[in-house]
Amino acid sequence: MSDIKLFRITADAVTELDGTTDTVEKSVQVMFEKNLEALLGVRFLATEYTTTHGGRIDTLGLDENGCPVILEYKRASNENVINQGLFYLDWLMDHRKDFQWLVMEKLGKDAAEGVDWSAPRLICIAGDFNRYDDHAVKQMQRNIELIRYRRFGPELLMLDLVAATSTKGVFIDTKASPVDGGAAGGGNKYKTIGIVLQELDPGMLDRFEALRAYMMALGDDVQETRLRFYIAFKRIKNFACVEFRPTQGKILIFVKVDPSTVQLEPGFTRDVSNLGHFGTGDLEVTLSKAEDLEKAKPLIELSYGAS
């Protein structure tokens, strides 16, 4: 697949930096696991997790949306890491209680109660992928990402999202949760995003479609994932989370922009760094009318660039 070159520019010359990938798979795994949240927005849970059928999941984590994440590392060019990861993903969906107990042990009860099973993810990491890997992923109706890594010297690491597919999340009731015996994430206190979308009037629906079209056009790497209570737009990490307030005619966008760097405008932007809300991002942007999208675009682009 396509190669990426990195150059050091000085006053006298332009020098290409040699990109390398580790041949020892374990060293790559250790590097990612030590820096999982910074690199991928995923909280680390376990390494070499043993399944009931004797398999071992390379890395288990929980992403910023509260969704389970399986990471598999490709050891050789002919290894079918995608099928292996899908096998583990199916196993995980059949063993949700085990995963929630693991989350409770590592991250606490609140995180365990908030596990979102609507969009579990498989992330495959390798020094490179081939065109057959890319094609295979595009045929699968699962949340799969192929991430290529390359090191440039001891201090530079490149991550390249080679291919990704995302599906509209399907809400899975977790009444059998071992944590509290009730539905995860607050039970029936909030309407799921599927119900909320059906309640949008034509004006709100048009505004959302315009917002969605704009964000998807920001780059080929943008993915849309429908969670239980909001819709996340991401590259490798989230850059915008969207909620709706149908009775108020408002669309709320949470972006990863430092509120202290923005001139806050009442009714349009708000600092929510100390307020609870679904999704990620400390700056809330409100679209109350069609014209608000133009004002919101620079903030969305800032968040996109940082993700």
Residue extents of the structural domains in the chain: 6-165, 193-306
* C-alpha distance from residue 273 to each of 77, 112, 129, 293 (Å): 44, 22, 39, 22
pLDDT of residue 130: 83
pLDDT of residue 270: 96
Give this prediction's pTM: 0.81
pLDDT-derived band of residue 2, with 50, 70 and 90 as boundaries?
Answer: low
Query: For residue range 194-203, what is the model confidence (pLDDT) as tens digits?
Result: 899 999 999 9
Given a cut of 80, whether residue 172 has pLDDT beyond it is no
Query: For residue range 222-242, what is the model confidence (pLDDT) as tens digits?
Result: 999 999 899 999 999 999 999
State the chain's mean pLDDT as an integer. Answer: 87
pLDDT of residue 152: 86
pLDDT-derived band of residue 176, with 50, 70 and 90 as boundaries?
Answer: very low
Mean pLDDT check: name the lowest of 12-16, 188-192, 223-227, 268-272.
188-192
Of 191 and 231, the one with more pLDDT: 231
pLDDT-derived band of residue 107, with 50, 70 and 90 as boundaries?
Answer: very high
pLDDT-derived band of residue 303, with 50, 70 and 90 as boundaries?
Answer: very high
Query: For residue range 237-260, what is the model confidence (pLDDT) as tens digits?
Result: 999 999 999 999 999 999 999 999
pLDDT of residue 78: 62
Mean pLDDT of 165-185: 47
236-272 as b/e: b if 16+ CB within 10 A: bbbbbbbbbeeeeebbbbbbbbebeebeeeeeebbee
pLDDT of residue 201: 92
**CATH code of domain 193-306:** 3.90.1150
146-183 as b/e: b if 16+ CB within 10 A: bbbbbbbeeeeeeebbbbbbbbebebeebeebebeeeb
Residue 302: helix, strand or coil by DSSP?
helix
Query: For residue range 261-301, what is the model confidence (pLDDT) as tens digits?
Result: 999 999 999 999 998 888 999 999 999 999 999 999 999 99
DSSP assignment letter at 168: B
Mean pLDDT of 47-73: 93
Give the whole-angstrom CA distance, residue 100 versus residue 256.
Answer: 28
Name the architecture of domain 6-165: 3-Layer(aba) Sandwich (3.40)
Tell me how far apart the terminal alpha carbons of the chain are, to the nearest angstrom. Answer: 23
Helix 96-107 to helix 81-93 angle (10° resolution) is 90
